[in-house]
Amino acid sequence: MFRDYFSYIGFRIKDWYVSRKKQGGFQHTFHKAAIIFALGLWIVTAVRVVINEYKTAGKEEIITAFNSDAYTDMEAVISTYGKYGSVNITDTAKKLILQDIARQIGVDNYVMTDATDNGNKVKVLYKDSVNGRVVCRFITVGEVPQAECNQYISIEITLNDSVEAAFDYEEMLDKIVKKLDMNSDVTVNLHGEIPGQLTDGMKNILVDNMIGGIEADIVTQNRDKDLYTVYAYDKDIDGFIKMGKDKVNVNLSVFYDEIDDVTCVYLATPINNADY
């Protein structure tokens, strides 16, 4: 793919140069400088196109690997959690921050409420709809109004019966996290269910096909009878976490839910941080 792009660029530059030369050549130094500058911009633009396509290739493979008629109750959860600061923040400021996050996501007609979690104050903004759920939390850890306390923000977007838009929301949350100056990862977790219990052989085929379809390299795995867990790395996916010295950005989990009589499949990037 890269060779095709750069071959085309080289061909166009050569063709343009020959055409200009036939018309009288490059008569002035200023014209030459302008031409070199224009060609430089052309190459930079082409390289950016190649890099963007390279980064999205792995994400498209994940969506393709997970899109199957075999799954029921499919959902995508896009989430992030991180430290916002270590200063006291008024309730009004927390409210404004959560409202701005909702605006960037495109949510209106939401509900704002106060809660507690393990003794910590939490301001919650949420909205439920047929298509999913958005929950934003501003969590204050520490006694208030002491001089310093830790502030955390969590954002979770759930898409019902749809996984196609998951990585669009990942990019959206990534921009929000950067704007808030938070050092936190954005996780995409795809979940689907297969009716009944799969045999160990069927689970092996499922795992091998999904990892193979993504073209990821397995870093470590545990194929236990009750829980199959695979950690892998795909160079086409931008971003990763470290497990020891190894890079990981794909996490596949398969297990049987006896209560609902379904086999649950989770495919996450960079890693599944949900309870199951």
Question: Residue 18: is its pLDDT beyond 80?
Answer: no
What is the rounded CA–CA span in Å between residue 26 and residue 32?
A: 6
Task: Find all residues with CB under 8 Å of 209, minimum gap 6, and list them.
Answer: 65
61 band by pLDDT with thresholds 50, 70 and 90: confident
Backbone φ and ψ for 171, nearest 5 degrees, come out as -65, -40
Reported as a single tens digit per residue, the pLDDT across 157-186 is: 999 977 888 989 999 999 999 999 998 999
214 band by pLDDT with thresholds 50, 70 and 90: confident
More confident residue, 68 or 46: 68
Provide mean pLDDT across the span 41-54: 41
What is the rounded CA–CA span in Å between residue 212 and residue 218?
A: 10
69 band by pLDDT with thresholds 50, 70 and 90: low
User: Which of 79, 84, 96 minimizes the C-alpha distance to 155?
Assistant: 79
What is the rounded CA–CA span in Å between residue 144 and residue 90?
A: 10
Question: Residue 9: is its pLDDT beyond 80?
Answer: no
More confident residue, 23 or 40: 23
Would you state the pLDDT for residue 124? 98
Q: Per 3-state DSSP, what percentage of the chain is helix, strand, and coil (rounded to 5)? A: 35, 35, 25
Structure tokens at 57: 């290739």
What is the rounded CA–CA span in Å between residue 111 and residue 260?
A: 31
Kindly state the helix (H) or strand (E) to which residue 191 belongs, with its residue range. Answer: strand 186-195
149 band by pLDDT with thresholds 50, 70 and 90: confident
Reported as a single tens digit per residue, the pLDDT across 185-196 is: 999 999 989 899
Would you state the pLDDT for residue 146? 55
Most confident range (mean pLDDT) of 5-9, 34-38, 94-98 is: 94-98
Computed over every residue of the chain, the mean pLDDT equals 81
Question: Residue 126: is its pLDDT beyond 80?
Answer: yes
Residue type, 195: P
224 band by pLDDT with thresholds 50, 70 and 90: confident
Q: Is the dihedral of CA 160, 163, 168, 169 positive or negative?
A: positive
Reported as a single tens digit per residue, the pLDDT across 127-142 is: 999 999 999 999 999 7
